[in-house]
Amino acid sequence: MADPKKKTSVQAEIIFFVLIVAILFVFCYHYAFADETQTNEITGNQNTINFGWWGNDERHDYTLQGIDIFEQKNPSINVNCTYSVWSGYERRNRIYMRSGSEPDVMQINYNWISEYSPDGNGYYNLYDLSDYIDLSSYTENELSYGTVNGKLNALPIAYNSVVFFYNQDLLDQYGLDVPKTWDDLFAAAEKLNGIDEKVLYMNIKHVFLTLIAHYEQTTGKEVFDENGNYVGGDDAIRDMLTFYDKMIRAGVINTEQKMDGNDFMAQKTLGSGFWASDADRYCEPLSDAGVTVTLADPPAVSVSGEESSTTGWYVKPATMYAISVDTQYPEDSAKLLDFLVNDPQMALLQGTEKGIPVSRKAQAVLEDNNAMEGYGATAGTYVLDNLDSLSLMIPAMENTDIIDAFSDVSAQYIYGKCTIDEGISTLESDWEDILGGGE
């Protein structure tokens, strides 16, 4: 007969072990997903506002320096900072917005305006705070990017578009010119046949935007209309899925499952397509290693020997600043927002890390101090030079659910898990559900 004391002892040990594992799980989960927060000591009669953003360590460092300067200039305002990398930020922002717990001042993505403020009431109307925010640094057209129903929901920080950079040393090594057309990409892939390198690295969002560009260039038709409705029918999805499959099989790009954000920097691809605001991050490691990096026009269809380099390619505000509609301190929040986009010291700290600033005041400071340098400035200048010929991005084009649905279906098609017609039917149904039936 078993000893009851020994049985009780074993049960106690099991319970203790389970408790320890549970505690460790909660601890690890918290630190894996929590934002970093800087809470400053409150002294005297101060109002406390919260400011949230995402980015890399460089952005965190200079933004925190800027907040210190802002607080010195505004001793009655205390700023609590919450920041993290992009991963998971959108999910947390969704929770914040739906629970009304978003920061007073926040960095937002362009497409969030249509998602969280379709009627213009989801964010504070900045026109009501124009006594504290100098809007004269922006043109009416620039202000329109953040305006819904006559209410200014957000200010653009910089412009963004997909840009293409190439490793000139690798191109020279393989006897290749910088690709200009879609055909050039496939010709380069053929030259690399049997070699580990691919022609391009792009994440799935930029692949998606590239496939839209190819379809719109080759057909002259739109994938999404200006209201965010999917208008491509069967043809657009068919072209996007088949061209994606063709690029993978030819070796132009890797499958999504094999894509690695370090491939371009590790010289495993000839080039890369990414946001202009990320140019420093992708190009500086190569430059530091002595590699020549070349900016090129995005791929285009050759028409009578001439390339239409911007057809099908889109531009958007890189990121934007908005104020919570529920803030208790709108004037203080407005002072902080104005500082972030217009203050000379903040402009110098930020430089072109987010791209060339839209604010004319910030631009002038950078020009006067010869601070328009680096790959970010090169990419930003390229976007500005082509601004008139780039189309304004439709928020649906970078809707996470839209792209995730494409990712799922394209993987099934590429790996032979569904036919092209099945893929088309599934995507059309998924996108209709996501976009609310086009309404």
Neighbours of 403 (CB within 10 A): 18
Query: What value does the mean pLDDT take over residues 146-154?
Result: 97
- pTM attached to this predicted model: 0.79
**Strand positions, DSSP E, 264-319:** 269-275, 293-296, 302-303, 306-307, 314-317
Q: What is the secondary structure of 310-372 as a DSSP string?
A: TTT-EEEES-EEEEBTT-S-HHHHHHHHHHHHH-HHHHHHHTTBTBSBS-HHHHHHHHHTT--
Q: Which of 15-24, 256-265, 328-337 has the lowest mean pLDDT?
A: 15-24
Q: Which residues contact 424 (CB under 8 A, 6 or more apart)?
A: 234, 237, 238, 241
Nearest to 51 by CA among 83, 91, 88, 74: 83
Average pLDDT over residues 93-121: 91
Closest CA to 252 of 190, 303, 162: 190
* CB-based contact 208:403 (threshold 8 Å): yes
Contact of 177 with 399, CB cutoff 8 Å = no
Nearest Cα neighbor of 342 from 356, 323, 360, 330 is 360
Cα(48)–Cα(39) distance, rounded to whole angstroms?
Answer: 10
Query: Which of 16-25, 284-293, 404-413 is predicted least confidently?
Result: 16-25
Predicted confidence at residue 229, as pLDDT, reads 93
Residue 38: CB atoms within 10 A of its CB come to: 15
Structural domains for the chain: 49-158+318-342 (3.40.190.10), 160-315+392-434 (3.40.190.10)
Least confident of 192-206, 242-256, 292-306, 335-349: 292-306
**pLDDT band at 304; cut points 50, 70, 90:** low
* pLDDT at residue 98 is higher than 90: no
| Proportion of the chain in helix, strand, coil states, percent, rounded to 5 | 50, 20, 35
Q: What is the 3-state secondary structure (H, E, C) of 51-89?
A: EEEECCHHHHHHHHHHHHHHHHHCCCEEEEEEEECCCCH
Distance of alpha carbon 72 from alpha carbon 78, whole angstroms: 10
The SS3 call for residue 249 is helix
Q: How confident is the model at residue 4 (pLDDT cuts 50, 70, 90)?
A: very low
Residues 6+ away with beta carbon under 8 Å from 104: 49, 50, 51, 323, 324, 327, 328, 329, 332, 333, 336
| DSSP annotation of 40 | P
| φ and ψ at residue 226, rounded to 5 degrees | -65, -20
Q: For residue range 58-74, what is the model confidence (pLDDT) as tens digits?
A: 999 999 999 999 999 99
Q: 364 and 341 in contact (C-beta within 8 Å)?
A: no
Query: How do residues 313-346 score in pLDDT, each as one tens digit?
Result: 999 998 999 999 999 999 999 999 999 999 999 9
pLDDT of 368-422, one tens digit each? 999 988 899 999 999 999 988 899 999 899 898 999 999 999 999 999 999 999 9
Q: Give pLDDT, residue 60.
A: 95
Q: What is the spatial distance between Cα 34 and Cα 325, in angstroms, rounded to a whole number?
A: 24
Partnered with residue 108 across adjacent β-strands are 320
Biggest distance spanned by C-alpha atoms of the chain: 93
- 8-17, 191-200, 290-299, 414-423: range with lowest mean pLDDT: 8-17
Look at residue 379 in the predicted model and tell me its pLDDT. 94
* Chain-centroid distance, C-alpha 95: 19
**What mean pLDDT value characterizes the chain?**
88
Query: Where does the pLDDT of residue 17 fall: very low under 50, low under 70, confident under 90, or very high at 90 and above?
Result: very low
Residue 437 has a CB neighbour count (10 Å cut-off) of 8
Give residue 439's pLDDT. 40
- Mean pLDDT score, 260-279: 94
